[in-house]
Amino acid sequence: MIQVQQPTMQTTTAINDKREAMIHLQNVEKVYRTDTIETLALSNINLHIAKGEFLSIMGPSGCGKSTLLNIIGLLDAATKGQVLIDNQDTTHLSDKAMAQFRNKKIGFIFQSYHLINDLAVQDNVELPLLYRSSSAKERRQRSAEALQKVGLSNRMKHFPKQLSGGQKQRVAIARAIVGQPEIILADEPTGNLDSAMGDEIMNILLHLNSTEGTTIIMVTHDEYMAKKTHRLVRLFDGSQVQ
Amino acid sequence: MFRHLFKLIWNKKKENFLMITEMLVSFLVIFAVLSMTVFYYHNYRQPMGFDYEDVWVVNYSAPQSAQRGDSAMLFRQTIRQMLLSMPQIKKLSFAGSNVPFAMSTSNSNIDYNGKSVLANIYDSEISYASVLNMHLKEGRWFTQADEVSKYPPVVINEMTKEALFGKDQAVGKLIGKDNPLKVVGVVQNLKDKGDYQPVEYGMYKLMDTGSYHHASTILLKVQPGTDAAFEGKIFKQLSNAIGSSIEIEHLDKKLASKNKIFLVPAIIATIVAAFLIINVALGLFGVLWYNINKRRSEIGLRRAVGATGNSVSKQLVGEALMLSTFALIIGSFFAVQFPLLNVFDLPEGVYIIAMVLSILFIYFLVIICALYPGRQAAAIYPATALHED
Ligand SMILES: Nc1ncnc2c1ncn2[C@@H]1O[C@H](COP(=O)(O)OP(=O)(O)OP(=O)(O)O)[C@@H](O)[C@H]1O
Ligand SMILES: [Mg+2]
């Protein structure tokens, strides 16, 4: 189990939002070091995201959007600074604790779907539940529900190869929500889709945010999509510009 | 997780077919090698049943004049006295040519009560058992009185006794159909074909005037440390007495050369099998390694949805073990036919031990080959793996 620490950050944060705070990034810096070069992917990022907020992140290619999302999702560690999620300092968690944290609190959606081609749709959706204690029956039931929410109840036995891009992304959304996480991190979820399919995906996310109160952070290149969200953060060269 | 892995493997059966075949073939090769190894090891562990140290073998061919009846008897008497008069020779026995570790065999079927075995038949004398220090289990060895008994007396080995009489008493029974022979004793099995060879059915007959001409060999028990000079001396004396060339060998050297005849091909076969196994291991390792690189994005995704590095590595080892289990189930089906159909004349227990060892060996091999790729998979950085496409 994840122990919720006492909110030590209350003294350090200046947030006065009436809504409960969900994600705090403080002076986050990320440096990628290779043999020859050092890349400053993020520098001095301060970001506070409220519970239930739908935030979009924009910026030119290579400005560090994915890096930021990975750090929030505990897939990558910040070089400097603090990441607090749900009042918990995540900087010094063990591999196991981080895995549990991702499993319970976070759902990921990627531009390239990342479905496992050798597993049927429903088995793909069940995946997060495999890494927590749940019965086979419960997994079947919850994955079926998640697929219903994205309108794919009739594709449960299909394989990813038999689906269109939009359908694949809906499967990925079902997989992201099956564990009922509080946060969804979407990295260009509509990037590979035409505008009609993109709208469809966007509507599912908006619906999820409004009905279930899921906090969503979405990276996008599409101003039109970004406008539909509560707040837009712009990055430029690893720094926050807005 | 078990069902999940099963599905994953099942849905990829085409890709996995090659891997399963490779594991199956290596199982069968190892099964064959281990069957042989277990068999020969089992033989090796059997007691010799007699002493071969300081026993010399003299091969001769008796002159025409001394091959039948009284003259043969007289001939042997002369030779015997001449040899026994030398202090270096403790005991001696005339024998057929199939003395221990000799290339020659002589066998025949012996029957009792509807049962029949093909047994080695040894022509021997009263002194034969003591020259070889054979161990009597039941009854007695031949005595002077046997030379005039009604039925020709025989001594059988334990293996023959078990086959024909089971738990019943053998001593006193008549065996054979037309010319019944009377069992007077049972001796411990003699492993007289070499250290690694199986014990065979055996029956010892007492040579009489009618079968003297079978004798072509003399077994000499000499004093420990008797040297080559003495060997040269009796060589000369015997050659003169017999009037034709003779040959003197030592049982311990004969055993060594018997073993060598077995060991050389066995070692070659083992080396070939070892190369095969190394090949299979490298293949297995390569396929697993390749798999992991092909599945980086899947591994990244699993990490993202809550797998620890450890569970990723366990999953990959688990998949390999499940694949090998399929292969082993198929392989065991083939392997079990050998004892069921009695393909080669090996004891059942040999196959079963070999099967168990082969299964353990394959699992061991698979774990060894999967462990490192599995560890590498655990070290894959999820953020990077999810971003390459
Ligand atoms: N594993 C890595 N090693 C070294 N440098 C990296 C690594 N990952 C990202 N970078 C660098 O960090 C910077 C930010 O990369 P990031 O992927 O976050 O950009 P992005 O904003 O998501 O771009 P895009 O819109 O093209 O997806 C880039 O300059 C990139 O080259
Ligand atoms: Mg990106």
Q: With CA atoms as reference, report the closest residue to B248 among B238, B263, B262, B261.
A: B238
Q: How many domains does chain B have?
A: 2
Residue B68 has pLDDT above 80, yes or no: no
* pLDDT tens column, B350-378: 999 999 999 999 999 999 999 999 999 99
In this predicted model, which residue has the larger pLDDT, B73 or B153?
B153
Q: Rounded distance, CA A234 to CA A237, Å?
A: 10
In a domain, B219, yes or no: yes
Q: How is residue A222 annotated by DSSP?
A: -
pTM of the full predicted structure? Answer: 0.81
For residues B268 and B374, membership in a common domain is answered with yes
Q: Rounded distance, CA A152 to CA A144, Å?
A: 9
Instruction: Tell me the average pLDDT across A17-34.
Output: 83
HSE-CB of A227 using CA atoms within 13 angstroms: 4
Instruction: Tell me the average pLDDT across A165-181.
Output: 95
Residue A203 has pLDDT above 80, yes or no: yes
- Domain A12-240 belongs to what topology? Rossmann fold (3.40.50)
User: SS3 of B298, please?
Assistant: helix
Supply the pLDDT for residue A165: 93
Supply the pLDDT for residue B287: 84
Classify each residue of B107-118 as buried b or exposed e, where b means 16 or more C-beta atoms within 10 Å of its C-beta: beebebeeeebe
- Average pLDDT of chain A to the nearest whole number: 89
Supply the pLDDT for residue A204: 94
Mutate-to-test residue for ligand 1 from A29, A42, A56, A65, highest number of ligand atoms within 8 A of CB: A65
Residue A62 in contact with ligand 1 by CB distance below 6 A: yes
Residue A32 in contact with ligand 1 by CB distance below 6 A: yes
Q: A74 CA to chain B: closest CA distance, Å?
A: 8
Supply the pLDDT for residue B140: 96
Supply the pLDDT for residue A4: 36
Residue A2 has pLDDT above 80, yes or no: no
For residues B182 and B266, membership in a common domain is answered with no
- Token pair, residue B235, equals 């060589």
Choosing from B244, B267, B296, the residue where a domain stops is: B244
For residues B21 and B167, membership in a common domain is answered with no
HSE-CB of B324 using CA atoms within 13 angstroms: 27
Residue B253 has pLDDT above 50, yes or no: yes
pLDDT band of residue A1 (cuts 50, 70, 90) is very low
Supply the pLDDT for residue B215: 78
User: SS3 of B388, please?
Assistant: coil
Residue B97 has pLDDT above 50, yes or no: yes
In a domain, B51, yes or no: no
Supply the pLDDT for residue B339: 86
Cα(B106) to ligand 1 centroid in Å equals 85
Instruction: Tell me the average pLDDT across B273-292.
Output: 86
- Beta-carbon separation of B308 and A175 below 8 A: no
Residue A10 has pLDDT above 60, yes or no: no
Q: B39 CA to chain A: closest CA distance, Å?
A: 45
* pLDDT tens column, B25-59: 889 989 998 999 999 999 999 999 999 999 999 99
- Structural domain span for residue B372: 2-46+258-388
For ligand 1, atom 18: residue with the closest CA = A64
Residue A5 has pLDDT above 50, yes or no: no
- Beta-carbon separation of A114 and B386 below 8 A: yes
pLDDT band of residue B1 (cuts 50, 70, 90) is confident
Residue B70 has pLDDT above 90, yes or no: no
In a domain, B324, yes or no: yes
- Average pLDDT of chain B to the nearest whole number: 91
pLDDT band of residue B234 (cuts 50, 70, 90) is very high
Contact of A35 with chain B, judged by CB distance below 8 Å, is answered with no
Which residues are CB-neighbours of B81 under 8 A, at least 6 positions away? none
* pLDDT tens column, A38-56: 999 999 999 999 999 999 9
Instruction: Tell me the average pLDDT across A196-206.
Output: 93
Q: Rounded distance, CA A25 to CA A85, Å?
A: 9
Rg over CA atoms, chain B: 31
| CA distances from residue B144 to A48, B125, B128, B206, B308 in whole angstroms, order as listed | 113, 10, 13, 10, 85
Pairing of strands A54-58, A231-236: parallel
Cα(A30) to ligand 2 centroid in Å equals 15
Q: How is residue B145 annotated by DSSP?
A: G
Q: Rounded distance, CA B195 to CA B115, Å?
A: 29
pLDDT band of residue B218 (cuts 50, 70, 90) is very high
Residue A114 has pLDDT above 50, yes or no: yes
For residues B120 and B29, membership in a common domain is answered with no
Residue B65 has pLDDT above 70, yes or no: yes
Q: ipTM score here?
A: 0.89
In a domain, B53, yes or no: no
For residues B35 and B66, membership in a common domain is answered with no
Cα(A90) to ligand 2 centroid in Å equals 22
* pLDDT tens column, A91-106: 888 989 999 999 999 9
Contact of A157 with chain B, judged by CB distance below 8 Å, is answered with no
Q: How is residue B341 annotated by DSSP?
A: H
In a domain, B207, yes or no: yes
Which residues are CB-neighbours of B382 under 8 A, at least 6 positions away? A75, B299, B300, B301, B303, B304
Supply the pLDDT for residue B187: 97
Residue boundaries of the structural domains of chain A: 12-240
Q: Which stretch of DSSP H or E encloses residue B26? A: helix B13-45
Residue A8 has pLDDT above 60, yes or no: no
* pLDDT tens column, B288-312: 888 888 899 999 999 999 999 999 9
Choosing from B184, B213, B244, the residue where a domain stops is: B244
For residues B26 and B163, membership in a common domain is answered with no
Instruction: Tell me the average pLDDT across B182-194.
Output: 96
In a domain, B55, yes or no: no
For residues B33 and B144, membership in a common domain is answered with no
In a domain, B158, yes or no: yes
Instruction: Report the residue from A66, A126, A128 with minimal CB separation from B387.
Output: A66
Contact of A75 with chain B, judged by CB distance below 8 Å, is answered with yes
Supply the pLDDT for residue A20: 67
Residues in chain A: 242
* Residues above pLDDT 70, as percent of chain B: 99
